[in-house]
Amino acid sequence: MNPPAAGQALLQRWDPRFKLLGLAILVLAFAMVNDPAVLPLLLATPLVLAWFSGLAPGFILSRLRYPSLLVVLLLLWLPLAVGQTPWAALGPLTVYREGLAAALLIGGRFLGIVLSALIILHSSPLTTNIKAMRALGLPWIMVDMALLTLRYLQVLGHDLRQMRLAMRSRGWTGNRLGLRNLRIIAWLTGSLLLRSHERADGIYRAMRLRGYGQPGSQHHDFRAGGLDYLLLVITLAVALVIILLSLELFPV
């Protein structure tokens, strides 16, 4: 049995407002987990989500390329430094049971939250997610800023690449950390800030011409049906089970 095709997948058809609510509830439930025995259920959740997302596994895994340095350091440090009960000896180092459990918890929660968020947020375009946040009550100033930032991120990233290419073609390598190089990097950053500032006024005039700020320009067209409510209830139920297990009301 193959995962559903992109565009037809259940998560892609779910109302983005309900999807964001479901994600918020789910990741907060994951953050409450303090018992390593609950981790299999926590890690099974993103697997189920991935199945119904229509996203290729390679795409999901490629997004995990940048695990937080802090998480990696904690995972290495905790088993060796925290606890009193020796579990294993690695040459001169001792692995402690309590530290290992703590590292498993942090690693499991990290993977569960990051994978669930990646899958849910990438099952709709980012602009749709931001509009759904607006529909859920995010202040319009932040929504407009976020949409414009997203729109011009690629443009300014392209500008930056071109400016650096021009610098390299003139012989700048930037592989040493001297005062001269720092000044050049500062000027490069300053030029980028100047370009974006000058571009902003033209963008504002163009936006006004297209009706920005007029009544009705903030309306959304999200419509929820029975399936959207059902999926939210299922997500709530999963979150509730995880919370109850974490509170040790139902020991596993």
Partner 1 sequence: MHIADGILNLPVVAGGFVGAGAVAWYSLDRIKRRGDPREKIPRAALLTAAFFAASLIHLPLPPAGVHLVLNGLLGIMLGWFAFPAILIGLFLQAVMFGHGGLTTLGVNGLILGLPALMAWRLFHWQRDPDASPWRTGVRGMLAGSGAMVAALMLFLAALLLGLPAEYGGQASMTALMVIIGAHIPLIILEGVITTFLVVFLQRVQPRLLEGI
Within 55-84, which residues bind partner 1 (CB under 8 A)? 63-68, 70-71, 73-74, 77-78, 81-82
Least distance CB 225 / partner 1 (angstroms): 26
Establish if 38 lies at the interface with partner 1 (CB under 8 A). Answer: no
Q: What does the per-residue mask of binding to partner 1 show for 4-23, with x meaning CB under 8 A?
A: -------------------x
Candidate list 48, 93, 153, 247; residue touching partner 1; CB under 8 A: 153
DSSP-assigned states of every residue in 123-167: TS-HHHHHHHHHHTT--HHHHHHHHHHHHHHHHHHHHHHHHHHHH
């009544």: which residue's tokens? Answer: 215
Taking CB under 8 A as the criterion, which residues in 156-195 touch partner 1?
156-157, 159-160, 174-177, 179, 182-183, 185-190, 192-195
Which DSSP helix (H) or strand (E) runs through 71?
Answer: helix 69-81
Pairing of strands 93-96, 86-90: antiparallel
CB of 206 to partner 1, least distance (A): 9
Contact string (CB under 8 A) for partner 1, positions 79-118, x = contact: --xx---------------x---x--xxxxxxxxxx--xx
Count, residues near partner 1 per rule CB under 8 A: 81
Task: Please count the other Cβ atoms lying within 10 Å of the Cβ belonging to residue 146.
Answer: 18
Cα–Cα distance between 146 and 161 in angstroms, integer? 22
Binding mask 112-151 for partner 1 (x = CB under 8 A): xxx--xx--x----x--x---------x-xx-xxxxxxx-
Alpha carbon separation from 236 to 76, 137, 138 (Å, rounded): 34, 20, 22
Question: Using CB under 8 A, which of 30, 46, 55, 238 touches partner 1?
Answer: 30
Yes or no: say if 114 and 64 are a contact pair by the CB < 8 Å rule.
yes
